[in-house]
Amino acid sequence: MSKLLDDVVSELSRLPGVGRRTAMRLAMHMLRMEEHDVMLMTQAMARFRSDIRYCSRCNNLSDGDVCEICSDATRDRSTVCVVEQVKDVLSIENTRQYNGLYHVLGGVISPMQGIGPSDLKIDLLLDHLASGDVREVILALSTTVEGETTSFYISRRLQACEGVRLTSIARGIGFGDELDYADDLTIAHALHNRRPL
């Protein structure tokens, strides 16, 4: 077998969800692409891995020392939304409903996976709050055991911050979800937190 083909299949197989069969399909697709376009792709990958940084304020991915959002003067600096991962920032940005800042923890507390509070960027969040600009911290973590544990831990750490309101995004039945597919805990919570129409 061609060493060039063998190499590209082996390398692509390192990616999550890509087995040798998929890697082969990707390699064959690359042959149908213009060589120039393949070069643009590999350059974008290499540049991303070598040049990307983490924002020194919010830990979001950033091209420079401070990310686009943190350095955007039109954003509301009194609100910080705490999320687990970079992609959560994108999910919230896509809604165009939020104009505050973010703070990316980089994960959730998970003793099973050996991730403790010190592995998350919680001190960086406290540093940010110490600046005194922030009036509200919105926790937008997963509703898993790990997410809830992390929310609880952060709420304890933030008790010392005076003048900062701590909130959580609403839990309930999602739009488009059917009630009989929702779990008991979600339904119970949704019932308990019912709102006037």
The footprint of a copy of itself (CB under 8 A) covers: 1-5, 7-8, 10-12, 14-17, 22, 24-31, 33, 35, 37-52, 60-63, 67-68, 85-87, 90, 93
CB of 197 to a copy of itself, least distance (A): 34
CB of 185 to a copy of itself, least distance (A): 26
24 or 190: CB nearest a copy of itself: 24
Q: What does the angle CA 71 – CA 74 – CA 76 come to, to the nearest 5 degrees?
A: 90
CB of 35 to a copy of itself, least distance (A): 5
16 or 163: CB nearest a copy of itself: 16
CB of 1 to a copy of itself, least distance (A): 7
42 or 167: CB nearest a copy of itself: 42
60 or 151: CB nearest a copy of itself: 60
Q: Where are the alpha helices (DSSP H) in 66-144?
A: 86-95, 122-130
SS3 35: helix
Q: Where are the alpha helices (DSSP H) in 52-172?
A: 86-95, 122-130, 145-157
45 or 188: CB nearest a copy of itself: 45
CB of 80 to a copy of itself, least distance (A): 18
Dig out the tokens for 165 from the structure.
């309101």
49 or 194: CB nearest a copy of itself: 49
CB of 46 to a copy of itself, least distance (A): 5
